[in-house]
């Protein structure tokens, strides 16, 4: 298989997922306006700009993945990929997540330094992120944050299927992380658990200097870069958010009006 063939397949799959998730989550958001995180801000007007930029940055991300897979295919790595089977799939996928999270955290911190922030500025124009914001990133920024795939194959012999599964998972995670609406607030998304919800990265866009990690709060907690109000905000969402609805508010109103409020 040629490098361009690998790249074309990965790019096509990622773009398809980008639009499917974008429109699917938008459909859900329209039916759950109370779950908007930043109540006074709207980022939807940047949709066209973000989609155009995303098509370019996704190409950079997929190029990184294709480099890693092609290097394995050609035997250029120091070690042959580990065997993929049912009992190694989950631990290897979790290991890939942990390593990527560390890579992303420190690359993200680097991009917030004076020297590199000019490459990251484009992404932070989305102060109130939307489902289209995840890949609206500068090309140098993307190369740094997503270069993991081109490098990790020379250090850890992940099976190709693990790398591909992680790439698709990261696309899903990133889209929900930029959705601007909270669906995952729970006790496991706050201290003492290491998991996150959408509020985590949304606060990074709103407050700029907190919450750099991608999957886990570990690095931010240890290095003191977690938002001081994150845990409290998640707990508030748990108590205030209504049940997830699959109907538009306008469809719910007639039913609510028809419900008697008293026995008189």
Which 3 state secondary structure label does DSSP give 36? strand
Per-residue pLDDT of the chain (264 residues; tens, 9 = 90+): 899 999 999 999 999 999 999 999 999 999 999 999 999 888 999 999 999 999 999 999 999 999 999 999 999 999 999 999 999 999 999 999 999 999 999 999 999 999 999 999 999 999 999 999 999 999 999 999 999 999 999 999 999 999 999 999 999 999 999 999 999 999 999 999 999 999 999 999 999 999 999 999 999 999 999 999 999 999 999 988 889 999 988 765 554 444 444 333
Four-point Cα dihedral 77, 154, 120, 165, nearest 10 = 80
SS3 for 68? helix
With CA atoms as reference, report the closest residue to 197 among 177, 178, 213.
177
């Amino acid at each position: 298989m040629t490098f361009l063939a690998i790249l074309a397949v990965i790019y096509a799959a990622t773009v398809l997922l980008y639009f499917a998730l974008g429109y699917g989550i938008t459909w859900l958001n329209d039916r759950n306006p109370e779950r908007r995180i930043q109540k006074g801000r709207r980022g939807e007007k940047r949709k066209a700009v973000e989609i155009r930029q995303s098509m370019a940055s996704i190409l950079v991300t997929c190029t990184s993945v294709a480099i890693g897979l092609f290097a394995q295919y050609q035997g250029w790595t120091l070690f042959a990929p580990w065997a993929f089977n049912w009992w190694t799939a989950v631990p290897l996928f979790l290991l890939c997540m942990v390593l990527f999270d560390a890579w992303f955290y420190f690359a993200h911190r680097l991009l917030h330094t004076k020297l590199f922030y000019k490459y990251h500025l484009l992404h932070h124009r989305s102060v109130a992120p939307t489902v289209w914001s995840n890949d609206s990133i500068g090309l140098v920024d993307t190369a740094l944050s997503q270069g993991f795939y081109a490098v990790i194959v020379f250090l850890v012999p992940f099976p190709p299927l693990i790398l591909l599964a992680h790439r698709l998972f990261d696309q899903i995670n990133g889209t929900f992380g930029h959705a601007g609406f909270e669906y995952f607030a729970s006790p496991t998304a706050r201290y003492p658990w290491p998991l996150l919800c959408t509020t985590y990265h949304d606060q990074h866009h709103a407050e700029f200097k907190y919450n750099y990690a991608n999957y886990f709060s570990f690095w931010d907690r240890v290095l003191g870069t977690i938002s001081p109000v994150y845990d409290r905000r998640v707990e508030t969402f748990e108590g205030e958010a209504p049940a997830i609805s699959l109907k538009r508010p306008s469809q719910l109103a007639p039913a609510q009006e028809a419900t008697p409020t008293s026995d008189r």
